Amino acid sequence: MTRFDEVKAAFWGEGLYGVQPPLTDAAVLDAELRLGVRLPASLLELLRIRNGGAVAALWNAFPTDVPTSWSESHVPVDDLMGIGRHDGCLSLLDSTYLIEEWGLPSPLVLLSGDGHWWIALDYRTCGAQGEPSVTWFDAEVPAELPLAEDFRTFVECLTAAHSLDAVDGGRSSS
């Protein structure tokens, strides 16, 4: 089993907040047209299991080599937005509005965040049809930090935030 498959098998956490209706091929095509990009196959694999929501505690942090406004050792990945318009929850489809609202560069597709920070698919280098990298954006500072060369690598590097607590000395906000 590859690392991606290992994470994928236990990726989703408990609860239904942020979960969109089951992902269909039509919804993917509509999202790609609205967003103007091709979404990574590995992201769609996760969203076909569950279309957004909480990430399991085993995979809720991405380790970093440099401190961020969040912690000394990682950025949070508490949830992953799905594709849809259910119960007023944010989804990938809200990226254009949120990018403008928070003064972020474009083209991006926002995956997770709270407004003060975002994790996004970054299409600035690869173009709309390419394989985007994953980047952390801190809207408050402002700052950005490349996290992974692609979404699959991003997922394969995820770990439990509690495993990084010793590095942070208990200072992380997670």
Q: Which residue do the tokens 């990009």 mark?
A: 37
DSSP 8-state code for residue 166: H
Confidence of residue 173 (pLDDT cuts 50, 70, 90): very low
Confidence of residue 161 (pLDDT cuts 50, 70, 90): very high
Confidence of residue 167 (pLDDT cuts 50, 70, 90): low
Looking at 22-159, list the stretches that DSSP marks H as alpha helix, in order from N- to C-terminal side: 25-35, 41-49, 95-102, 151-156
pLDDT over threshold 90, residue 36: yes
Looking at the chain, list the stretches that DSSP marks H as alpha helix, in order from N- to C-terminal side: 3-9, 25-35, 41-49, 95-102, 151-156, 165-168
CA atoms within 13 A on the CB side of 78: 11
Confidence of residue 107 (pLDDT cuts 50, 70, 90): very high
Confidence of residue 140 (pLDDT cuts 50, 70, 90): confident
pLDDT over threshold 90, residue 142: no
Residues of the chain with pLDDT > 90: what percent?
Answer: 82
What pLDDT score does 166 carry?
61
Structure tokens at 156: 């394969």
pLDDT over threshold 50, residue 174: no
Dump pLDDT digits (tens) for 46-75: 999 999 999 999 999 999 999 888 889 999
Q: What is the pTM of this model?
A: 0.92
Dump pLDDT digits (tens) for 6-30: 999 999 999 999 999 999 999 999 9
Q: Are 93 and 28 in contact (CB under 8 A)?
A: no
Helix (H, G, I), strand (E, B) or coil at 122: strand
CA dihedral 139, 27, 152, 6 (to 10 degrees): 120
Phi, psi of 35 (to 5 degrees): -85, -20
Beta bridge partners of 108: 122
The angle formed by the CA atoms of residues 50, 53 and 55, to the nearest 5 degrees, is 95
- Average pLDDT over the chain reads 92
Lowest mean pLDDT among 88-92, 109-113, 138-142, 168-172: 168-172
C-alpha–C-alpha distance, residues 64 and 148, integer Å: 10
Q: Are 93 and 31 in contact (CB under 8 A)?
A: yes
Q: CA 161, 167, 169, 172 torsion: positive or negative?
A: negative
What pLDDT score does 27 carry?
97
